[in-house]
Amino acid sequence: NAGVMQNPRHLVRRRGQEARLRCSPMKGHSHVYWYRQLPEEGLKFMVYLQKENIIDESGMPKERFSAEFPKEGPSILRIQQVVRGDSAAYFCASSMTRQGGRSTEAFFGQGTRLTVV
Amino acid sequence: DQQVKQNSPSLSVQEGRISILNCDYTNSMFDYFLWYKKYPAEGPTFLISISSIKDKNEDGRFTVFLNKSAKHLSLHIVPSQPGDSAVYFCAASANNQGGKLIFGQGTELSVKP
C-alpha cells in the first residue's frame, strides 16, 4: 500500500454536510480509481479517472457524488448532503499504463472511513 | 449483477496445510484476474495475477489457476501460515475497460496454529 496516500483516514460528518476525500496516487501513476466498501460487503467500483478526465463513472450514484483528478493535486471524491447510508470505507487505487495500453495492477491506499451521524 | 463471485464467505485451515480459495465469474470479456489480501482497517494488497492466455501463475507459496471454460479461478496457498489470515478478494478486469476492477465479495481465511 505504500505510495497511495488517502486522507483523512477517518471522517465524521453530520447528515446534510459535505464530505471531501483525498487521494494522492503513487508517483508515476496516471490512473485513479475509487471504490466503496459497505459493512459486510466487497469493494464496489465507483469511478475511474485519468488526469483531468473521468473515464468511467458507471459505479457512481447519480446524485450527490462527484469526483475529479485535476492536473495538479490529489484526486477528490466529494459527497454532498451526506446521509447515514453513505457511511462506508472509501478506497482509492492507482495504476500506470503498460506498453500496449493495458494498465498495471492497481495499488490501494489505506482508505477513508466515513461515518455519518 | 454480481459478475465476480466468491461463494465461500469463510475458510478455516490448519497451519502447514493447503488453503484453496475459489472464485467464479460470468463476464466472458474479463481477461485479467487478480487476487488481493486485506487486513482489517487497511487497504487491499496485491498478491498475484493471471492473464487469460495462461492457466497457471506461481509466486512462492501462492499459485493461481485459471479455468476459462468453467469461468473459474482459484488461489492456492501452501503451506498456509497464521499470518495468511485475512480477507482475500478475487478481482477481474477487461482490456476494453482500462484498469477498472470488479471484485468478489471476499473470503475470510483463518489459519490456525
Highest mean pLDDT among A28-42, A92-106, B78-92: B78-92
pLDDT in tens, A63-106: 999 999 998 899 999 999 999 999 999 999 998 876 555 667 88
- The verdict on B43 touching A (C-beta cutoff 8 Å) is yes
- Residues B113, B45 contacting (CB under 8 angstroms): no
pLDDT given for residue A103 in this prediction: 62
Q: Whose CA is closest to A89, among A53, A50, A52, A39?
A: A39
Question: With an 8 Å Cβ cutoff, are A106 and B106 in contact?
Answer: no
Can you read off the three cell numbers belonging to residue B50? 493471471
Mean pLDDT value of segment B16-37: 96
- Probe site for chain B from A55, A105, A107, A110 (most B CB atoms < 10 A): A105
Residues in Cβ contact with B64 at an 8 Å cutoff, skipping those fewer than 6 apart: B33, B35, B48, B49, B50, B56, B57, B58, B73, B74, B75, B76
Q: Extract the C-alpha cell encoding A45.
A: 467500483
Query: In the prediction, which pLDDT does A1 show?
Result: 46
**Mean per-residue pLDDT of chain A:** 91
Return d(Cα B47, Cα B36) in angstroms, integer: 5
Q: What is the mean pLDDT of chain B?
A: 94
Cβ distance A108 to B98 less than 8 Å, yes or no, reads: no
In this predicted structure, the answer to whether residue B55 has a pLDDT above a threshold of 90 is: yes
Nearest C-alpha neighbor of A5 from the set A94, A65, A72: A94
Give chain A positions within 8 Å (CB) of B104: 42
In this complex, is the C-beta atom of A30 within 8 Å of any C-beta atom belonging to chain B? no
The mean pLDDT of B33-50, rounded to a whole number, is 94
